[in-house]
């Protein structure tokens, strides 16, 4: 046995030396053929080849994701990469969950006991529907979504049927729901369908006002003390960067990748319509300037990212669309000041 191992080891060493010597011979032959003065060119060529291969792999991955940018106002696709590809939509599901639940009941004060079939940042206690909507839309809390679904007449299964019925009524041919959270990889949609879902969600004031909050604080009683639970928005970086986002919902699962659905409302300035001194003077007494002159057109944009490879890529895709296609149309300083003053009154 020992002799057999020695023979095998000897053969392996000989084969290894033969391969090394062959590689040396090939390398020396290449150097002789090109001469030493061409050696730097050879190494530069190898370096460029390796970089181009790496770039091609990265681009190939990027091209598999869905990137949709639709201008609702102009009824125009700005970017339409893989928009018809059906894929898991992760927690963007919760936009449909919120709509179906609000269609059933707008009573936000009714208290529900948290369901524990999935994980949660919330303790197993009673919460108002308003608190559950906040946890679901801001922090993407899965237990909150399950609790809202269970509250539906005849329970969770009837709620999921209602989700699919609403999708069918909206002619969402690529969309199907198996749960109210998006944890299931069988919750499917496409870029085009998600645009329609966001457009429909824009008609619900609760979704508009809640989904873009940077954080929410929910207070619960723990023994004799009050416990404050701080839930930060899963899309906090983009919400801090862009104040014209009016609906926001992120998503992530291993099968879906990193996803986000946004509705952006952006005022564009009309050419040659800068308000003159008289307009500004009159607006002082009216309390509100002529919007057609001062602010131009309010454009609505839907941005959908599905299947990004990480959070940074998801953010970068949105930033690229925002800066290249939306925020490049700047409003006037007076327009901006008026908007800030308007917001301060709310």
The residues annotated as belonging to the active site are: 91, 94, 140
What is residue 176's DSSP assignment? B
Whole-number Å distance between alpha carbons of 90 and 11: 55
Helix (H, G, I), strand (E, B) or coil at 163: helix
What would the two tokens of residue 214 be? 């940077």
Residue 109: CA count within 13 A, CB half-sphere: 0
Cα–Cα dist 101/181, whole Å: 13
Cα separation, 81 vs 199, whole angstroms: 19
HSE-up of residue 309 (Cα within 13 Å, Cβ side): 8
From residue 53, how far is each of 49, 239, 309, 316 by CA, in Å?
Answer: 6, 36, 19, 22
User: Count of H helices and E strands in the chain?
Assistant: 13, 11
How large is the angle between the packed helices 142-150 and 155-169, nearest 10 degrees? 90
CB neighbourhood size of 318 (10 A) = 25
Asked whether the beta carbons of 229 and 218 are under 8 A apart, the reply is: yes
């Amino acid at each position: 046995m020992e002799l057999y191992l020695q023979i095998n080891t000897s053969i392996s060493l000989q084969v290894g030396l033969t391969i090394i010597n062959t590689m040396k011979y090939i390398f020396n032959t290449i150097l002789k053929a090109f001469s030493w003065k061409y050696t730097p060119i050879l190494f530069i060529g190898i370096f460029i080849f390796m970089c181009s291969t790496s770039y091609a792999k990265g681009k190939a991955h990027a091209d598999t994701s869905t990137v949709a940018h639709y201008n609702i106002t102009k009824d125009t696709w700005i970017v339409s990469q893989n928009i018809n590809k059906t894929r898991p939509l992760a927690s963007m599901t919760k936009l449909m969950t919120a709509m179906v639940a609000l269609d059933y009941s707008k009573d936000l004060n009714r208290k529900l006991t948290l369901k524990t079939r999935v994980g949660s940042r919330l303790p197993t206690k009673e919460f108002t529907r308003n608190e559950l909507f906040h946890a679901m839309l801001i922090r993407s809390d899965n237990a909150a979504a399950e609790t809202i679904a269970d509250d539906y007449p005849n329970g969770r299964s009837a709620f999921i049927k209602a989700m699919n019925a609403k999708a069918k009524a909206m002619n969402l041919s690529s969309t199907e729901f198996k749960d109210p959270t998006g944890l299931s990889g069988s919750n499917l949609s496409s870029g085009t369908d998600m645009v329609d879902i966001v457009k429909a969600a824009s008609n619900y004031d609760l979704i508009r006002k809640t989904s873009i909050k940077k954080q929410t604080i929910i207070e619960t009683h723990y023994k004799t003390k009050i416990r404050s639970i701080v839930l930060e928005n899963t899309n906090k970086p983009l919400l801090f960067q862009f104040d014209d986002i009016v609906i926001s919902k992120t998503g992530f699962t291993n099968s879906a990748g990193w996803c986000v659905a946004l509705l952006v409302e952006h005022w564009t300035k009309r050419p040659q319509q800068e308000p003159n001194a008289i307009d500004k003077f009159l607006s002082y007494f009216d309390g509100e300037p002529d919007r057609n002159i001062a602010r131009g057109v309010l454009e609505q944009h839907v941005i959908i990212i599905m299947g990004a490879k990480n959070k940074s890529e998801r953010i970068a895709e949105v930033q690229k669309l925002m800066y290249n296609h939306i925020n490049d149309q700047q409003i006037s300083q007076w327009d901006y000041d008026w908007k800030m003053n308007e917001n301060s009154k709310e």
